[in-house]
């Protein structure tokens, strides 16, 4: 669990929190998130957990953020085994009619070495993106709230200034009426 709101929510629901991650949510660094990603991958590889899901606020635009749950582990969309990765079917329109040969790609380093390096990096980067989206969403919501508060304060200042000016004008009119009444009484 990361963040005050999530911790407060689960404490209120009386649900146990396995661990609270020490990640600076004002400015998360890749190194902080990388440690967390490594721990998740270790737990997944060791069979301690079956899957890792990340609930976060996805930043879509300044006016739209959406709460989402992403499956971090297992990675989805991997239908080929590492030894099948080096072989790919030809792209549409590249093979002549009747040509059933497959296009073979050579990898340097090997496909297994590439996957061993890229898959963990993919997990860590996806997790880091979740943190960045959450921070961006929170900062945008703060900016919108502050703009709304400033606009409301400006409206209130205008209304109170107008009310003050009317009261002052009424007081001046009353004082002038009293002075004019006194002058007329002296002239009689």
Q: What are the structural domains of the chain?
A: 4-90+100-150 (3.40.1380.10)
Quick one: which of 55, 58, 52 has its CA closest to 69?
A: 55
The rounded distance, in Å, linking the Cα atoms of 91 and 142 is 48
Which contiguous run of DSSP H or E holds residue 53? Answer: strand 52-61
pLDDT for 161 beyond 60: yes
pLDDT digits (tens, 9 = 90+) for 121-144: 999 999 999 999 988 988 898 898
69: left (phi over 0), alpha (psi -120 to 50) or beta: beta
Q: Give the model's pLDDT for residue 78.
A: 52
Give residue 19's pLDDT band: very low, low, confident or very high (50, 70, 90).
confident
pLDDT of residue 85: 45
Tokens of 18: 């396995």
pTM: 0.66
Q: What is the distance between the alpha carbons of residues 36 and 18, in angstroms, rounded to a whole number?
A: 13
Using the predicted structure, report yes or no on whether residue 146 has a pLDDT greater than 80: yes
């Amino acid at each position: 669990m990361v963040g005050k709101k999530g911790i407060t929510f689960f404490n209120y629901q009386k649900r146990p929190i396995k661990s609270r991650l020490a990640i600076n949510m004002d400015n998360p660094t890749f190194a902080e998130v990388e440690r967390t990603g490594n721990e998740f991958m270790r737990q997944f590889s060791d069979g301690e957990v079956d899957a890792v899901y990340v609930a976060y606020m996805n930043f879509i635009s300044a006016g739209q953020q959406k709460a989402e749950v992403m499956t971090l582990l297992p990675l989805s969309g991997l239908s080929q085994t590492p030894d099948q990765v080096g072989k790919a079917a030809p792209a549409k329109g590249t093979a002549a009619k009747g040509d059933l040969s497959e296009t073979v790609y050579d990898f340097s380093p090997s496909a297994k070495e590439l996957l061993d390096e890229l898959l963990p990096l993919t997990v860590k980067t996806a997790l880091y993106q979740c943190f960045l989206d959450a921070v961006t969403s929170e900062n945008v919501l703060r900016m919108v709230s502050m703009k709304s508060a400033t606009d409301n304060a400006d409206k209130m200042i205008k209304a109170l200034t107008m009310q003050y000016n009317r009261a002052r004008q009424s007081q001046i009119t009353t004082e002038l009426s009293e002075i004019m009444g006194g002058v007329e009484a002296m002239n009689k």
